[in-house]
Amino acid sequence: MPSLRFREVTKATRTDFEKLFTSKGAPSYCWCMAWRDLANHQQASNGERKQAMMDRIAAGTPVGILAYRDDEPVGWCSVAPRETCRKLSPGQDDTETGIWSIVCFYVQRPLRGGGLSIALLEAAIEHAFARGATAVEAYPVDEASPSYRFIGFRKLFDTRGFRETGRAGSRRYVMRLERS
Protein backbone atom coordinates (compact mmCIF):
# COMPACT_ATOMS: atom_id res chain seq x y z
CA MET A 1 0.00 0.00 0.00
CA PRO A 2 1.88 3.08 -1.21
CA SER A 3 1.86 6.33 0.76
CA LEU A 4 0.08 4.96 3.84
CA ARG A 5 0.13 6.80 7.13
CA PHE A 6 -1.92 6.49 10.29
CA ARG A 7 -3.29 9.05 12.71
CA GLU A 8 -5.29 8.88 15.90
CA VAL A 9 -8.84 10.21 15.74
CA THR A 10 -8.80 13.44 17.75
CA LYS A 11 -10.46 16.83 17.59
CA ALA A 12 -7.91 17.70 14.88
CA THR A 13 -8.78 14.66 12.71
CA ARG A 14 -12.49 14.47 13.50
CA THR A 15 -13.50 15.86 10.10
CA ASP A 16 -11.44 13.13 8.38
CA PHE A 17 -13.24 10.52 10.49
CA GLU A 18 -16.60 12.01 9.44
CA LYS A 19 -15.48 12.10 5.81
CA LEU A 20 -14.55 8.40 5.90
CA PHE A 21 -17.72 7.35 7.72
CA THR A 22 -19.96 9.22 5.29
CA SER A 23 -18.19 7.93 2.17
CA LYS A 24 -19.91 5.41 -0.10
CA GLY A 25 -20.32 2.03 1.63
CA ALA A 26 -19.04 3.27 5.00
CA PRO A 27 -20.66 2.27 8.32
CA SER A 28 -22.46 5.57 8.91
CA TYR A 29 -25.36 3.55 10.35
CA CYS A 30 -23.37 2.71 13.48
CA TRP A 31 -20.54 5.26 13.80
CA CYS A 32 -18.61 2.48 15.54
CA MET A 33 -20.80 2.68 18.63
CA ALA A 34 -21.78 -1.02 18.60
CA TRP A 35 -19.41 -1.89 21.44
CA ARG A 36 -19.51 1.42 23.30
CA ASP A 37 -21.94 2.50 26.02
CA LEU A 38 -24.90 4.38 24.63
CA ALA A 39 -28.28 5.00 26.22
CA ASN A 40 -31.05 3.18 24.33
CA HIS A 41 -28.33 1.35 22.40
CA GLN A 42 -30.68 -0.81 20.33
CA GLN A 43 -33.02 2.02 19.35
CA ALA A 44 -30.50 4.86 18.90
CA SER A 45 -30.72 6.64 15.57
CA ASN A 46 -27.74 7.14 13.25
CA GLY A 47 -27.66 10.76 14.35
CA GLU A 48 -27.59 9.79 18.03
CA ARG A 49 -24.77 7.32 17.38
CA LYS A 50 -22.78 9.93 15.47
CA GLN A 51 -23.31 12.52 18.22
CA ALA A 52 -22.22 10.04 20.89
CA MET A 53 -19.01 9.33 18.96
CA MET A 54 -18.36 13.03 18.33
CA ASP A 55 -18.85 13.70 22.06
CA ARG A 56 -16.23 11.05 22.87
CA ILE A 57 -13.80 12.56 20.41
CA ALA A 58 -14.44 16.08 21.75
CA ALA A 59 -13.80 14.82 25.30
CA GLY A 60 -10.44 13.34 24.25
CA THR A 61 -11.53 9.73 24.76
CA PRO A 62 -9.45 7.40 22.57
CA VAL A 63 -11.62 5.79 19.88
CA GLY A 64 -9.26 4.59 17.16
CA ILE A 65 -7.00 5.35 14.25
CA LEU A 66 -7.45 6.34 10.62
CA ALA A 67 -5.43 5.10 7.66
CA TYR A 68 -4.60 7.65 4.99
CA ARG A 69 -3.46 7.11 1.44
CA ASP A 70 -2.19 10.27 -0.22
CA ASP A 71 -3.84 12.44 2.47
CA GLU A 72 -7.27 10.80 2.03
CA PRO A 73 -8.79 8.74 4.87
CA VAL A 74 -9.30 5.21 3.50
CA GLY A 75 -9.52 2.97 6.57
CA TRP A 76 -10.36 2.79 10.24
CA CYS A 77 -9.54 0.62 13.22
CA SER A 78 -11.32 1.01 16.53
CA VAL A 79 -8.60 0.59 19.14
CA ALA A 80 -9.17 2.01 22.60
CA PRO A 81 -8.84 1.17 26.28
CA ARG A 82 -11.13 -1.75 27.03
CA GLU A 83 -12.83 0.16 29.83
CA THR A 84 -14.22 2.61 27.24
CA CYS A 85 -16.29 -0.24 25.76
CA ARG A 86 -19.24 -2.28 26.94
CA LYS A 87 -18.41 -5.73 28.29
CA LEU A 88 -16.84 -7.55 25.33
CA SER A 89 -16.84 -11.13 26.59
CA PRO A 90 -18.49 -13.10 29.39
CA GLY A 91 -15.14 -13.98 30.98
CA GLN A 92 -13.77 -10.43 30.93
CA ASP A 93 -11.88 -9.56 34.11
CA ASP A 94 -12.67 -5.91 34.76
CA THR A 95 -9.97 -5.68 37.44
CA GLU A 96 -7.29 -5.94 34.74
CA THR A 97 -5.79 -2.64 33.70
CA GLY A 98 -3.88 -1.58 30.62
CA ILE A 99 -5.92 -3.69 28.20
CA TRP A 100 -6.77 -2.07 24.87
CA SER A 101 -9.41 -3.57 22.59
CA ILE A 102 -9.71 -3.77 18.83
CA VAL A 103 -13.39 -4.03 17.98
CA CYS A 104 -13.80 -2.87 14.39
CA PHE A 105 -12.10 -2.42 11.02
CA TYR A 106 -13.36 -0.55 8.01
CA VAL A 107 -11.51 -0.43 4.68
CA GLN A 108 -12.99 1.27 1.65
CA ARG A 109 -14.19 -1.37 -0.80
CA PRO A 110 -11.72 -0.61 -3.67
CA LEU A 111 -8.81 -1.18 -1.25
CA ARG A 112 -9.99 -4.45 0.31
CA GLY A 113 -7.73 -7.43 -0.18
CA GLY A 114 -4.64 -5.27 -0.65
CA GLY A 115 -3.12 -5.54 2.82
CA LEU A 116 -4.66 -2.46 4.44
CA SER A 117 -6.20 -4.52 7.28
CA ILE A 118 -2.77 -5.93 8.10
CA ALA A 119 -1.28 -2.44 8.08
CA LEU A 120 -4.13 -1.12 10.23
CA LEU A 121 -3.62 -3.94 12.73
CA GLU A 122 0.11 -3.19 12.97
CA ALA A 123 -0.59 0.52 13.44
CA ALA A 124 -3.28 -0.20 16.06
CA ILE A 125 -0.92 -2.41 18.07
CA GLU A 126 1.83 0.21 17.91
CA HIS A 127 -0.65 2.93 18.87
CA ALA A 128 -1.96 1.02 21.91
CA PHE A 129 1.47 0.06 23.24
CA ALA A 130 2.78 3.60 22.71
CA ARG A 131 -0.08 4.83 24.92
CA GLY A 132 0.67 2.44 27.76
CA ALA A 133 -1.26 -0.71 26.92
CA THR A 134 0.07 -3.86 28.57
CA ALA A 135 -1.93 -6.04 26.18
CA VAL A 136 -4.14 -5.69 23.12
CA GLU A 137 -7.28 -7.81 22.85
CA ALA A 138 -9.34 -8.60 19.78
CA TYR A 139 -12.56 -10.53 19.23
CA PRO A 140 -12.32 -11.91 15.68
CA VAL A 141 -14.39 -14.51 13.87
CA ASP A 142 -13.65 -17.25 11.36
CA GLU A 143 -13.92 -16.21 7.71
CA ALA A 144 -17.06 -18.33 7.28
CA SER A 145 -18.88 -16.44 10.04
CA PRO A 146 -22.18 -14.93 8.90
CA SER A 147 -21.83 -12.00 11.31
CA TYR A 148 -19.32 -9.87 13.20
CA ARG A 149 -17.04 -9.79 10.15
CA PHE A 150 -16.24 -6.11 10.84
CA ILE A 151 -14.23 -7.21 13.87
CA GLY A 152 -11.68 -8.99 11.68
CA PHE A 153 -10.83 -12.57 10.93
CA ARG A 154 -9.01 -14.87 13.31
CA LYS A 155 -6.29 -15.64 10.76
CA LEU A 156 -5.20 -11.97 10.75
CA PHE A 157 -4.64 -12.06 14.50
CA ASP A 158 -3.08 -15.56 14.51
CA THR A 159 -0.52 -14.40 11.95
CA ARG A 160 0.42 -11.43 14.13
CA GLY A 161 0.96 -13.59 17.23
CA PHE A 162 -2.25 -13.06 19.18
CA ARG A 163 -3.18 -16.09 21.28
CA GLU A 164 -6.66 -17.33 22.04
CA THR A 165 -7.70 -16.75 25.66
CA GLY A 166 -11.39 -17.62 25.45
CA ARG A 167 -14.63 -17.19 23.57
CA ALA A 168 -17.10 -14.34 23.40
CA GLY A 169 -20.28 -16.10 22.40
CA SER A 170 -20.58 -18.75 19.72
CA ARG A 171 -18.73 -16.92 16.92
CA ARG A 172 -16.18 -14.57 18.42
CA TYR A 173 -12.81 -15.56 19.84
CA VAL A 174 -11.03 -13.59 22.53
CA MET A 175 -7.42 -13.17 21.46
CA ARG A 176 -4.62 -11.29 23.15
CA LEU A 177 -1.18 -9.95 22.35
CA GLU A 178 0.95 -9.13 25.39
CA ARG A 179 3.47 -6.34 25.34
CA SER A 180 6.90 -7.87 24.82
Percent of the chain with pLDDT over 90: 89
CATH number at residue 108: 3.40.630.30
- So what's the pLDDT on residue 78? 98
Total domains, the chain: 1
Please state, in angstroms and as integers, the Cα–Cα distance from residue 78 to each residue in 8, 127, 136, 140, 170, following that order. Answer: 10, 11, 12, 13, 22
Q: How confident is the model at residue 43 (pLDDT cuts 50, 70, 90)?
A: confident
CB 156 within 8 A of CB 117: yes
Tens of pLDDT, residues 111-165: 999 999 999 999 999 999 999 999 999 999 999 999 989 999 999 999 999 999 9
- Report helix angle 46-59 to 14-21, nearest 10: 160
Domain containing residue 125: 4-178
CB 175 within 8 A of CB 165: yes
Q: How confident is the model at residue 2 (pLDDT cuts 50, 70, 90)?
A: low
pLDDT at 23 over 90: yes
Tens of pLDDT, residues 81-104: 999 999 999 999 999 999 999 999
CB 45 within 8 A of CB 96: no
